[in-house]
Structure 1
Amino acid sequence: MWMQDVDIVYGVVHERLVDHFIGVEIHLMENTITIFHCGVHKVKENPLIQKLAVLIPAIKLEMMNEEINFNDIVPFQVKKAEGLPKTKLPFNCGLFVVKMLECRSLGLKKMSSINDDTVMDLRSKLCCEMFDQFMDKDFQEGCRR
């Protein structure tokens, strides 16, 4: 449950107009959203993130059984994470953002291994992790039939 078991929520927002991914770290107790990007595009005020900055406080009020008056909602502060790895290739953007959020959620500050030279290894490892976590059980059950 939010604000009891979970203080921070991580997610990825897809900016369709420029086909770009932005990572978000939502601090429920600090009322902030930190955005993560890979440096391919300049990140300006994203309408979706601005809506999220209002929606999350509304959900938070609802969770606390408070009456919601949308005129009184104070949006979460949106800030940009600093010192992030950058890519020169737009098709690496999504992977960079996912790996940056993974590092952040694990408390790792050093993200230098996320770079264009290691991206294929990172992509392969992520595919294997996803297969092991989700597909392997279904695949094994299908083979038994």
Structure 2
Amino acid sequence: MGTQEFLESCMKNLPLDTFVKGLNPSQAKVEDSLDWLELPKSLKKPTDSLELQKSLKKPAVRLDDRDIELDGENFPDRCLVFVHPTDFKKMQDWQDTRTAIQIGPSMLDGDLAGRIMSASSWLKNYEIDAIMYVFRERTTLKRWNVDRVAFMICVFSDFISKDYQNFCKGIKKYTMDPLLLQYGKGELPSHGKTQMLWNVDVDRMYVPVWVNCNHWIALCISFVTRNIQVFDCGGKKKIKEVEAFAQLIPRIVKAVQSLTIQKHFHITPYNVSYVPMSGLNRLQCHCGVYTIKHIECHVLGLDISMVNDENIWGARIKIMWDLWEAANDLELIERMSKYEPIKCSKPAEYVEIDDL
């Protein structure tokens, strides 16, 4: 099987269909509408005294629709949720043209934008991968003052899940999928490849993970502390899918470093810790947004409590702006024009890892 075919087969386990009938009663189907960039009533300026009194009990609105002046430039969470009025107008003008724009591995079009801007839609892997591409390029181009960091795509977590099934059949017979080794060497993801080795050039990486077939979480995997931090807006204390990362990541690190460093590496599972949080995602459709924003907060050294159910709509709009801005960034467009997909003319040899 060629690489592209293998990737497509793995995508079947990811949330390609946002609406799944009967899976979640709170989930509504996204309809194609020219008004997807209109903000919900909950974010618009109250028109009567009763609504005004209710709104005074909530944090100040950061964003509003096209007829109302936007505010929020001086709030601490502005980098996570605030979009300037002129920038919001740019997105609305683009909406009217219905022009699809390439953004890393994804296509920014009405469907993708509609999912981001719908309060009743879960994010798909397309938009998750697109924003991870933006994060990767921001660090590569030094637009973020963050070094030695890697960002994975959704297919990577699916590779881990599939390989872990083979691992559980017997450690002695386990052979690593060669594509995992390419991730460890920075040759994948193809868009924005870094050529940086895990635990040599990279200290930590962030991974979005689709769990239980209906929920997004984020992982921060530190090669230095050998620890995996789990960010789950649902506040769970144990997620079975995380065990696959705890077991396989140290094996990938050993395989990668064995290629460049003549040294024996002992393999022990990484420790797992769950970041405390509660009272989030009451609408049950924002887990993908929280996953993105928890990664962004952690990368930038911000408190993850800065994104919550009160400003999650602003976070959705900010994600929309970040993607639109990146899709129209001349430097990124030039870099994307040089993109070459990975080629696999013949099956690669599997990597055998001895447990020491």
TM-score by shorter chain over 0.5: yes
Deviation by residue 1:43-78 (Cα, 9 ceiling, x = unmatched): 4231x211111111001111221578xxx7311111
Give the TM-score taking structure 2 as reference length: 0.34
Task: Please name the residue that 2:297 is paired with.
Answer: 103
- More strand, by proportion: 1
Deviation, 1:26, is 0.1
Q: 2:250 matched to 1:57?
A: yes
Residues matched between the structures, number: 132
CA contact under 8 A between 1:85 and 1:114: conserved in structure 2?
Answer: no
% identical equivalent positions: 30
The answer to whether structure 1 residue 13 and structure 2 residue 200 are counterparts is no
For the pair 1:132 / 2:328, whether they are aligned, the reply is: no
> Which residue type is aligned with residue 222 of structure 2?
H
Q: Which residue of 2 aligns with 1:31?
A: 226
- State the TM-score, normalized to the length of structure 1: 0.79
* Counterpart for residue 93 of structure 1: 287
Asked whether the equivalents of residues 36 and 84 of structure 1 are also in contact (C-alpha less than 8 Å), the reply is no
Tell me the distance in 2 between the aligned counterparts of 1:42 and 1:82.
9
In the alignment, the residues of structure 2 paired with residue 107 and residue 90 of structure 1 have an alpha-carbon distance, to the nearest angstrom, of: 26
Once residues 67 and 93 of structure 1 are traced to their aligned partners in structure 2, the CA distance between those partners, rounded to angstroms, is 40
Shift of 1:42: 3.1
Secondary structure, counterpart of 1:23 in structure 2: strand
Question: Structure 1 residue 82: deviation in Å?
Answer: 2.3
Question: Aligned-pair distance for 1:126?
Answer: 0.7
- Equivalent position of 1:80 in the other structure: 274
State which structure, 1 or 2, has the greater radius of gyration over its C-alpha atoms.
2
Residue 85 of structure 1 and its aligned partner are, at CA, apart by 6.7
Structure 1: how far apart are the matches of 2:227 and 2:287?
23
Deviations 1:107-126 (A, max 9, x none): 112x3331222111110111
Query: Secondary structure of the equivalent of 1:127?
Result: helix
C-alpha separation between the residues in 2 aligned to 1:9 and 1:75?
16
2:307 to 91, 99, 114: 114
The gaps in structure 1 that reach 5 residues or longer are none
Q: What SS class does the counterpart of residue 57 from structure 1 fall into?
A: helix
Moved over 6 A (4+): none
Inter-partner Cα distance in structure 1 for 2:279 and 2:307? 6
Q: Given that residues 57 and 75 in structure 1 are in contact (C-alpha distance below 8 angstroms), is that contact kept between their aligned partners in structure 2?
A: yes
The one-letter code of the counterpart of 1:27 is S
The RMSD of aligned alpha carbons is: 2.5
Amino acid at match of 2:208: V
